[in-house]
Structure 1
Amino acid sequence: MSDSPNYKDTLTLPQTSFPMRGDLVKNEPKRLDIWNKSGIYEKIVSARKAAGAPDFILHDGPPFANGDVHMGTALNKLLKDMVVKSKTMAGFHAPFVPGWDCHGLPIEFKVVKQAAGLEPAEIRRRCTEFAAGFIDIQRASFRRLGVFADWENPYLTMNPSYEASILRVFAKLVENGSIYQSKKPVQWSYGAQTALAEAEVEYADKVSPAIFVKFPIVEGALAGKASMAIWTTTPWTLPANLGIAVHPEFTYVVGKFSDGETEENFVIVRELLEAFAEKTGFVLKETLSEVKGRELEGSKAQHPFLDRTSQLILANFVTTDSGTGAVHIAPGHGADDYVAGQQNGLGVLSPVDDLGHFTAEVGLEELVGQHVFKSNKRIIEILRESGHLLGEEEYHHSYPHCWRSKTPIIFRAVEQFFISLDGNDLRSKALEEIDKVKWMPSWGRNRIYGTVEARPDWCISRQRTWGVPLPVFFDENEKAVISADLANKVADLVEKEGTNIWFETSDEDLAAKLGLPAGLKKGKDTLDVWIDSGCSHAAVLDSHPELHAPADLYLEATDQHRGWFQSSLMLSTAFRGHAPYKRVMTHGFVVDKDTGKKTSKSDDKKGGKPTDAAHFYNKYGADIVRLWASSVDWQNEVPFGEDLFKQVAEPYRRLRNTLRILLGNLDGFTPSDASPEYTLLDKWILERLHEVTRECLAAFESFEFRKVFNAINQFCTNDLSAIYIDALKDRMYCDAPDSPRRLASQAAMHEVFLGITKLLAPILAFTAEEAWEHASFTKGSVHEQDFPKLNPAHAPSETTQQVDRLFQIKAAMQTAIEAKVQAKEFSRNNEAAITLTIPESDSALLKMLQDREFATEFFIIAELSVSVGPELTATAAKTELPLCPRCRKHEPVLTSGLCQRCEDVVSAAK
């Protein structure tokens, strides 16, 4: 038996060194080394600047330098990187200066926890080392993720030049008259012994003792005739009670109440009589009179256990939601209470120290030195013993806690420094600026508008060591010496010496350096850390020549409407008169898919679930993490789990394989200026590429990376792999290498490869670069390229309409073929002889369908007989044509046993 000829060597099979497996964990670090050595970021930025490209400035919000990079932080930095890379490839000069937030409670808390009793200078030295260590860790992670930035020159809020900028912004606020000192309630963490900013407060469930308390009226029309009844969930604040608030327009019942054993007269708002009876047992037996709240103003009630009276005042914040309609007022322990107290001359009493313990001002010796929350029980006992306790219950509610010590906060009046939001109309100006900014998603506008509208004056002093000093001195009478000139002098000194000079220099020497009179004492407070990051528009955008303010974009997670977005807005409006940003993009938190809880540094590896980004790029590769980041809907919370994360591995494999197939088919291809003779399928794939490019460019413009991911993934899976490449295998492998239609398809594939590789570059930074390098017709880095331009010649035309109809016809054929395959008459599509009837409306396609070469290639069948009839029908049978041993198609064959096309190719090769 003679051997049949082996025609494999006569085929033009795909050839490429681009591997099927990415081996990303091993290969990505090698590429990073190449990028670092070549200075890829600097090359890109310099080239764009030299070309006069328009600027696009994304200002990096500083992550805190106190932990590893978790998946939430990774998502944030990758979204920023995709913005910058896509803007660069869209033709912009887009420098990206990364930064870190270095001061503040979390770092100091960890340092002091490790070693108590340290001197301020030593605390600051250790905090500096701590922050610097985590900056290096985080920077290495961000670089490993393929983020391009000026990594050698980041901004750090602990750098002297940055600290000086903070002090100069503060000086401007002093000059504007926005800074004042006052003893008023602030959110106080006794766990961390400092005042807290709004953004440093988190909420957790708490059970509090809620009590009803009797205050006998001793002055006014009802003196000796009735008692006020109040309800409070903070019994520990009763020693600081100075007033009782009623609503001026509410109707109050003065009535005789009985609990079955005793009878007493109380004043209760009409709407809460039933609730009062239910919770205390005191039921209204007789209405003595009804009065409007305003009629009670000026009356006084006896404090239940201290020798002083409480004044009845009017307040519109009183509600009928719960309680009695009479609100216990302790101006030293609540924002509303403080304002009402100021309006009515009540004064401020706050008998609580830094640790949350009662001071001698509490008025009861047995409570001095006791923690306020532990004192609740004893205060309730005192009220019960004196007959002033009317009712008691457990109250379950959401209560503010310190985000670092996790302890419940207390509202406590202490001397602090504040930024006035209503002085100089700062609040109203900021609200106006909000409406000049584009918020993405649009609900971000309402969220920040509401927080700015409702927030109290900004408490900016912190009782901490690790931070920028609040530049204030005090005279012998403890009066603050504060001025814009002084703050600017401190800024100049700090720029040369750093902020340590404030903490390490004596009062006398520091005063002398600043030209101040002897005898003054420097302040011990530092500035709120949100002042630090909120000044970045001045410290970074103004000080880097390649940047500008306002920035084109700020991009952070949703919590920053209370945090960095807001602090930046307030300080920029005060400092320069407008918002520091033109657009603000907000992404949702990465949350555990099972618990719904936010991933964070403190939660890492809890319950065996890693959230550290290093776990994922060390196991799967950075490009898988990048593809995941591009695939999520950043406008909402992002559910996360390793099983969900793994799902992006399949589209990655598919995209990589598509690039490999294209490179294999482009082996030996040399781009030409000559216009190729595109076939219908070539024209169609280029029109599909045109539409995908259009969709992706629009999606990049609106930062909707998920749309880019979906568009390219579907294009590669459906249009390219399942249709175009599948149909063209015969042409690419079996035609002569220089056949016009093969060269035309290579030209089309060349366009497709360039297009999708460039469009993928901002997302698959490593893989796109690897594919670009493996092409014989590319130069430089893919990241130095422009996005593909839309070619009007490839805009959707009748070609797309024709092919869409041909797909419908193909579906009818496929139904007929599958029936025969099921009946086991034949097993493969290319064995099918199809008899097709098309309706009159498709007669324009008749000539095309009668072209054997076109029909067998497009439909991947053996034969097609077509006629015009009443409707679209197709029947299938097994072809009687022989199989060409070279191309494996059923074709008429010559005496050599080959079909005409294969005979021509083989003969020419000989």
Structure 2
Amino acid sequence: MEKKDFKDSLLIPKTDFPMRGNLGKKEPVIQSEWEKKDLYNLVLNKNKDYPQFFLHDGPPYANGSIHAGHALNKILKDFIVRYKNMNGFKAPYLPGWDTHGLPIENALTKNKKVNRKKMNLADFRNLCKDYALEQIDIQRQQFKRLGVLGEWEKPYVTLDKDYEAAQYRVFNQMVKKGLIYKGLKPVYWSPSSETALAEAEIEYKDVVSPSIYVSMEAKDTKDKLPKHTHFVVWTTTPWTIPANLAIAVGPEIEYTLIKTDGKHYLVARERLEALQDILDWRQVTKVQNIFGWELEHMTYKHPLYDRISPVILGDHVTTEDGTGLVHTAPGHGEEDFIVGQKYDLEVYCPVDEQGLMTKEAGKRFAGMYVEDANEEIIKALFEEKSLLGKFDITHSYPHDWRTKQPVIFRATPQWFASIEIIKDEILKEIQTIEWYPSWGNVRLSNMIKDRGSWCISRQRTWGVPIPAFYTEKGTAILDPKVIDHFADIVEKEGSNAWYTKEVKDLLPPGYTHPDSPNNIFRKETDIMDVWFDSGSSHHGGMLDRGYGYPADIYIEGSDQYRGWFNSSLITGVATTGKAPYKTLVSHGFVLDGEGKKMSKSMGNVVDPNKIADTLGSDILRLWVSSVDYQADVRLSNDLIKQVSESYRKIRNTMKFLLGNLFDYNDLKDRRDFKELNDVDQYVLYRNNELIKEVKDAYDTYRFDLVYRKITNYVTFLSSFYLDPAKDVLYIEKADSIERRNIQTVIFKVLDTMVRLLTPIIPHTCSEVYEYIPNIEHLEDAYLLDMPKVEELDFEHIELMEDFTYLREDVLKALENARNEKIIGKSLNAHLVLYPKSRTKTLLEKLNINLAQAFIVSKLDIRHTGFGKHKGKDISMDVLPAEGHTCDRCWQVVDQVNKDGICPRCESVVESL
């Protein structure tokens, strides 16, 4: 007789939701749907009555395809914006782009073979603009491919005329407050780029430099030292020796006069022992000690020139290295300049914009590049018997981050913004900001404390021109009325008007100045530092666009403490008295799998565009959520594979939940929490805790915690709840209380997962949401709100926690029995439990179907005896279950009917 097939009587999961994500192909389709629906604005309209939360986008530079760092940054921002929009805020996202500066000039020169020196400046700037807009189009599509929603068709761009006009008005407010001035001061100067550089444009590399010890003979010792005393100085930049105008000593440092080789030398007492070894001073006689403050105003003769210079006091002098006497060239060093100002020293700089020594350095050195001049100057010092020692040392030296060539400190006429005047105000504002990580407060505070002024001028073409004029007498004019007038012109025509219009058309009608009796004026040729461009975005890209001030949050890479965070803070406080951000979050850099910097030459670059197009941007987004972004993070194909496995588990779990809801309607079939058994209640309790913990993590920008909490919950759900639930979901009657209880739980769990994960993997959640049966669907999962934390009265929480440990002990025992060939699958098992006192109480109090929870066919509890397998407060035996295997539920039972099914299954089948 042929056996009946009961397959059709089982409630096998039903869903068309595909197992394979196929995200690389599917995501562009989903994104196309988002655009058709105008999902971004649907969300903002839904939230129109909510308080605004504004994340201000730090503008990436418009040059080249996006890299992994861009992807990390933009995805983190999208996490924040999406979460806020789902949690009671209206959170618009306005992308921005930084478009001026040297990289675009270089790209046109190198890549497009444009000879800018043969072109009209305005025409060259138009080429730069066109190139920048092309780059924006490329990057915009790549950012959108990552699933980032925002005002993509109306971004703020630093070359837009409205933005430039806003920048001029920020600049003018600073002019009116007396914060902008022109001065001669040493700045980072790049000979390779022929321009001043900001600190943010500097990177440090180890180089080998000549380190020299030089003696400079005293002229006037104030009768405190022998007449022919030699002051000993040390430097690693011999090319600055021609610019030496002083020797600085520490006022409280004790110096020692020694005699060796028939000469008197003065060095710091603490450095004498080291210098004896370095300079091979074998016979040393100590003559006297003297404090630094006693040396002030002594004089010495320069070893190479007929120049008498003073000994001065400087608090920057230390005895950590060198000689304790510091060679001082005010035209070539920040500290040298500052101390030189106190003593009215000339800001002397015999080096031109190409890094060549000028004729002021003398015929012997004129025209030599500074590095080449090193050896010639050392040779000259040797000839004058002033060179005491020369050694090569490896040290960290500043380089131009674009050309990778060394920079120099060089005094040039530049425009500056004074930090000193508003420093206290800035430092006070820093204390009002919420910092992630907390050390950001100290880092930015120290940068501001150490900063006296900001060089805001650059000797380039592609940028926002400084709106200054020069009179017939050479006087620099920075007149608020003139700047206001020009800002109005820029608002209509853009900053290129500076290059296309005559001077008379740029000045207000009838403008005169006493230093130009013939009304002849000359335009400034410098442009503004690009950090002033982007640092003005709180007006051009925020306040003037209707988003208010300050922003709720800035989030960028940690390099922006000396870049955008810094310049925005200065201009923001200067113009409004308040910091431009309430919260500041910084992230690290993306390194390869071994922790090395990514480099095309090393072949270790991981392309985010390739990951998005093959594996899917949700995989990349899940990776971003998995890392502790506040430090440097690692990205490799192997790491992406690991994240892909986590994604697969999440997707499979969601598919299982969907499949078992095909006949469930939450409005009609939902069971009350109190009607559920303890396992069901415990899963919902854990789900409720998950909501609380994940929302807390989102609120504190701990996305790695979001990832860990959710993936841990998915693992718990699969092993603890879903496997045992199959016995009810597949076997019992469709509308049985037990089955509806479980469906109530899994609907709630699925709903929670979709909402909590939408900021992280929006494409997948959008897709899952479409497949949830028997609900009234919104346009997209993104229109849902974050789940709310409920007040659940669950009295058995501690007992259930203990039960999870008991279950682990049972599963180990079953696994051991399987390895010993006592049973096959766990449904072949007859489990015998021997609980001790605490576990006995636990089993008596909990409302649990134990056999179902352990996925065994038979279970006995015995209160005497001991089992073979030991657990915590329990022992157990695993025996083969004896009886018949039901052809429908596969449990081993005492009896089956003529069709081979157990009484439970028979009752279900008869009811169909």
Per the normalisation by structure 2, the TM-score is 0.95
In the other structure, the counterpart of 1:630 is: 625
The Cα shift of 1:587 comes to: 0.9
**Partner Cα distance (2:809, 2:345) in 1:** 87
In the other structure, the counterpart of 1:243 is: 246
**Partner Cα distance (1:334, 1:808) in 2:** 67
**Partner Cα distance (2:484, 2:558) in 1:** 34
In the other structure, the counterpart of 1:334 is: 333
Contact 2:47 2:89 in 1 (8 A): yes
In the other structure, the counterpart of 2:442 is: 446
Aligned residues: 888
SS in 1 for 2:354: coil
In the other structure, the counterpart of 1:879 is: 881
In the other structure, the counterpart of 1:739 is: 736
In the other structure, the counterpart of 2:382 is: 384
**Partner Cα distance (2:120, 2:485) in 1:** 26
The CA deviation string for residues 642-684 of structure 1, in whole angstroms up to 9 with x for no partner, is 2122210100000000010001001122122565242333222
Contact 1:257 1:284 in 2 (8 A): yes
After superposition, the Cα gap between the structure-2 partners of 1:895 and 1:299, relative to the gap in structure 1 and judged at 3 Å, is closer
Contact 1:840 1:869 in 2 (8 A): no
Contact 1:848 1:855 in 2 (8 A): no
The Cα shift of 1:848 comes to: 7.2
Aligned pairs for 1:521-670 (under 5 A) are 521-545=522-546, 547-594=547-594, 596-597=596-597, 599=598, 603=599, 605-670=600-665
Aligned pairs for 1:481-500 (under 5 A) are 481-500=477-496
SS in 2 for 1:384: helix
**Partner Cα distance (1:110, 1:346) in 2:** 41
The Cα shift of 1:516 comes to: 5.2
Counterpart residue type for residue 568 of structure 1: S
**Partner Cα distance (2:364, 2:13) in 1:** 90
**Partner Cα distance (2:205, 2:294) in 1:** 40
**Partner Cα distance (2:226, 2:467) in 1:** 52
The Cα shift of 1:842 comes to: 4.2
The Cα shift of 1:239 comes to: 1.1
In the other structure, the counterpart of 1:44 is: 43
Contact 1:840 1:868 in 2 (8 A): no
In the other structure, the counterpart of 2:870 is: none
The Cα shift of 1:57 comes to: 0.9
In the other structure, the counterpart of 2:373 is: 375
Counterpart residue type for residue 751 of structure 2: L
**Partner Cα distance (1:31, 1:814) in 2:** 42
Between stretches 273-282 and 477-486, larger displacement belongs to 273-282
**Partner Cα distance (2:404, 2:390) in 1:** 27
**Partner Cα distance (2:843, 2:244) in 1:** 94
In the other structure, the counterpart of 2:257 is: 254
The Cα shift of 1:529 comes to: 0.7
In the other structure, the counterpart of 2:401 is: 403
Counterpart residue type for residue 704 of structure 2: R
Counterpart residue type for residue 714 of structure 1: N
**Partner Cα distance (1:843, 1:289) in 2:** 89
Q: What is the aligned counterpart of 1:730 among 727, 730, 734?
A: 727
The CA deviation string for residues 216-270 of structure 1, in whole angstroms up to 9 with x for no partner, is 1122334742221211111111111111112222222222212xxxx22222222
In the other structure, the counterpart of 1:7 is: 6
In the other structure, the counterpart of 1:907 is: 910
**Partner Cα distance (2:58, 2:463) in 1:** 18
SS in 2 for 1:367: coil
**Partner Cα distance (2:132, 2:51) in 1:** 35
Contact 1:302 1:310 in 2 (8 A): yes
Contact 1:473 1:480 in 2 (8 A): yes
Q: What is the aligned counterpart of 2:61 among 43, 61, 64?
A: 64
Contact 2:839 2:874 in 1 (8 A): no
Aligned pairs for 1:772-787 (under 5 A) are 772-776=769-773, 777-780=775-778, 781-787=780-786
Contact 2:100 2:462 in 1 (8 A): yes
Counterpart residue type for residue 336 of structure 1: E
In the other structure, the counterpart of 2:350 is: 351
After superposition, the Cα gap between the structure-2 partners of 1:229 and 1:845, relative to the gap in structure 1 and judged at 3 Å, is closer
In the other structure, the counterpart of 2:451 is: 455
Counterpart residue type for residue 381 of structure 2: L
Counterpart residue type for residue 882 of structure 1: H
The CA deviation string for residues 544-600 of structure 1, in whole angstroms up to 9 with x for no partner, is 22x121111110111111111111111111100010111101111112232532x4x
Unaligned runs of 5+ residues in structure 1 are none
After superposition, the Cα gap between the structure-2 partners of 1:811 and 1:420, relative to the gap in structure 1 and judged at 3 Å, is closer
Q: What is the aligned counterpart of 2:696 among 677, 695, 698?
A: 698
The Cα shift of 1:119 comes to: 3.1
Q: What is the aligned counterpart of 1:464 among 460, 465, 468?
A: 460
The CA deviation string for residues 460-501 of structure 1, in whole angstroms up to 9 with x for no partner, is 111111111111000112110112222211111111110001
Contact 2:420 2:452 in 1 (8 A): no
Contact 1:171 1:485 in 2 (8 A): no
After superposition, the Cα gap between the structure-2 partners of 1:381 and 1:320, relative to the gap in structure 1 and judged at 3 Å, is same
SS in 2 for 1:289: strand
After superposition, the Cα gap between the structure-2 partners of 1:811 and 1:356, relative to the gap in structure 1 and judged at 3 Å, is closer
Q: What is the aligned counterpart of 1:758 among 738, 755, 758?
A: 755
Q: What is the aligned counterpart of 1:684 among 675, 682, 685?
A: 682
Unaligned runs of 5+ residues in structure 2 are 514-518, 866-872
Contact 1:32 1:146 in 2 (8 A): yes
Counterpart residue type for residue 528 of structure 2: L
Counterpart residue type for residue 855 of structure 2: I
In the other structure, the counterpart of 1:294 is: 293
After superposition, the Cα gap between the structure-2 partners of 1:516 and 1:755, relative to the gap in structure 1 and judged at 3 Å, is farther
In the other structure, the counterpart of 2:167 is: 166
Q: What is the aligned counterpart of 1:503 among 499, 506, 510?
A: 499
SS in 2 for 1:431: helix
**Partner Cα distance (1:209, 1:635) in 2:** 39
SS in 2 for 1:43: helix
The CA deviation string for residues 696-754 of structure 1, in whole angstroms up to 9 with x for no partner, is 11111111111111111111112x21121100111111112122211221121111110
Contact 2:271 2:319 in 1 (8 A): yes
In the other structure, the counterpart of 1:21 is: 20
In the other structure, the counterpart of 2:868 is: none
**Partner Cα distance (1:401, 1:654) in 2:** 47
**Partner Cα distance (1:815, 1:404) in 2:** 60
Counterpart residue type for residue 354 of structure 2: L
The Cα shift of 1:346 comes to: 1.8
**Partner Cα distance (2:730, 2:154) in 1:** 52
Counterpart residue type for residue 135 of structure 2: F
Contact 2:486 2:506 in 1 (8 A): no
Contact 1:832 1:862 in 2 (8 A): yes
The Cα shift of 1:292 comes to: 2.1
Between stretches 674-683 and 647-656, larger displacement belongs to 674-683
SS in 2 for 1:455: coil
The Cα shift of 1:115 comes to: 2.4
The CA deviation string for residues 407-443 of structure 1, in whole angstroms up to 9 with x for no partner, is 11111111111111122xx111100110110111101
Contact 1:183 1:415 in 2 (8 A): yes
Contact 2:592 2:604 in 1 (8 A): no
**Partner Cα distance (1:679, 1:71) in 2:** 48
The Cα shift of 1:147 comes to: 0.5
**Partner Cα distance (1:615, 1:427) in 2:** 46
SS in 1 for 2:70: helix
Between stretches 625-634 and 698-707, larger displacement belongs to 698-707
After superposition, the Cα gap between the structure-2 partners of 1:905 and 1:520, relative to the gap in structure 1 and judged at 3 Å, is same
Counterpart residue type for residue 900 of structure 1: P
Contact 2:96 2:541 in 1 (8 A): no
Contact 1:489 1:514 in 2 (8 A): no
Per the normalisation by structure 1, the TM-score is 0.95
**Partner Cα distance (1:808, 1:340) in 2:** 70
After superposition, the Cα gap between the structure-2 partners of 1:563 and 1:612, relative to the gap in structure 1 and judged at 3 Å, is same
